Structure 1
Amino acid sequence: MANLYLLRHAKSDWEDMSVSDHDRPLSPRGVKAAANIGRALARQGVAPEIVLCSTALRARETLDLVMQAGELAWPVQFEPALYGASVQAILDIVRSDAGAFHRALLVGHNPGFHYVARHLVYTGDAELMTALDYKYPTGTFSDIELPDTTLADITPSTGILKQFLRPRDQTNA
């Protein structure tokens, strides 16, 4: 079995419209949500063998807060190609950069993450599946369990949605 974890960056700050999209920071709400998700992931023992993170500021800040709040020490690789990546580009990144691993966490953006999750998942708890079909909100973490030996072998419509943690479901976790 292999697990692909997807973490969409937390809520970003749109106050300063002169800041480029790539350099947009987290909002106060995003900071709180990222910390709550980090504590939840630590309690659950989520342990990726590698983390691939977009270079966008809001993604890097999300990952930093998750790891700090959860007291997590994951190996991180920054991947510029995750910023604005299509489904195929994300899958190519997983296969090439995380292909030798059984558990990888990607930190990045929509719409790519929502589409990748829907592309890989074929079943799961009905409530989780409904939530995934509806929306992939900022700060949301998903765990997709795949039947493959490593992430290099991932194929569409073979995954089981094991978790779909949204910030709104975490209250000072």
Structure 2
Amino acid sequence: MHRLILMRHAKTERAAASGLDRDRALTPRGLEDAILMGGILADKGLRPDLALVSPAVRTRQTWDAVQEALGDVEVRIEPRLYDASPETIRRLVEDAEEQAGCLLVMAHNPGVHTLAIDYLTESAASPSVMDRMAGGFPTGAAAIFEVDVAGRCAYDGFLTPKAFGGGADE
């Protein structure tokens, strides 16, 4: 693997009719932001070979909207990504590193945010990058990392819907 994209699902409804967190769906703005982010990833040449996606409705809907711009990508719905700890996400990334040149992980906060900060800390990212990431990981955001041959992740960008005219950060 030479590139890793950690992405949070887009904006969701506050509660699902079922009462289950897993069933929360995207809001109309969330869908627009997911479509926007798919286009941004595609325009920047950030096309994953493999996507690991949480089984929650909101992550699957976000992925479906993002994938429209990315074309044919192998997708695995990964049950362990639902409400996953950063350690669990890291293990899933490590397990998939031989399976893709570019891996996208679509999951939830706080797991994706904490793992992104962990990767930044491990790679001694600049204070300005650390400050930007410490400010939060909004819905629909994607942290991009270059991965070296030893599997170390180095910061390569942080994309948010708001930065490209989409919804507000939160």
CA drift at 1:134: 1.2
Cα distance change on mapping 1:73 and 1:101 into 2, 3 Å: closer
Match of 2:157 in 1: 163
Task: State the AA in 2 paired with 1:136.
Answer: F
> What's 2:92 paired with?
93
Tell me the alpha carbon deviations over residues 30-55 of structure 1, each in whole angstroms, 9 at most, x when there is no partner.
01110110111111111212110000
- For structure 1, which segment, 73-82 or 120-129, has the greater mean C-alpha deviation from structure 2 after superposition? 120-129
State how many pairs are aligned.
Answer: 164
1:105-132 deviation line (CA, Å, top 9, x unaligned): 0001000000111111235576544221
What are the Cα deviations for residues 118-172 of structure 1, in whole angstroms up to 9, with x where unaligned?
1112355765442212101110011111223xxxx53xxx432111011111126
- Asked if 1 retains the 8 angstrom alpha-carbon contact of 2:16 and 2:23, the reply is no
Runs of 4+ in structure 1 off by over 6 angstroms are none
Rounded to whole Å, the distance in 1 between the matches of 2:128 and 2:34 is: 23
Counterpart secondary structure, 2:114: helix
Could you tell me the percent identity over the aligned residues? 32
Aligned to 2:67: 67
Unaligned runs of 5+ in 2: none
Q: Is the 8 A contact 2:22 2:56 kept in 1?
A: yes
C-alpha separation between the residues in 1 aligned to 2:128 and 2:31?
27
What CA distance in whole angstroms lies between the structure 1 residues aligned with 2:72 and 2:46? 11
Q: Aligned residue for 1:4?
A: 4
**DSSP-derived class of the 2:30 partner:** helix
TM-score, normalised with respect to structure 1 = 0.85
**Which position in structure 2 is the counterpart of 1:46?**
46
Classify 1:166/1:126 alpha carbon distance in 2 versus 1 (closer, same or farther; 3 Å): farther
CA RMSD of superposed structures (Å): 2.0
Counterpart residue number, 2:145: 144
TM-score under structure 2 length normalisation? 0.87
On the 8 A contact 1:123/1:159 being kept in 2, the answer is no
SS of 2:48's equivalent in the other structure is coil
CA distance in 1, matches of 2:13, 2:3: 31
**Rounded Cα–Cα distance in structure 2 between residues aligned with 1:38 and 1:78:** 18
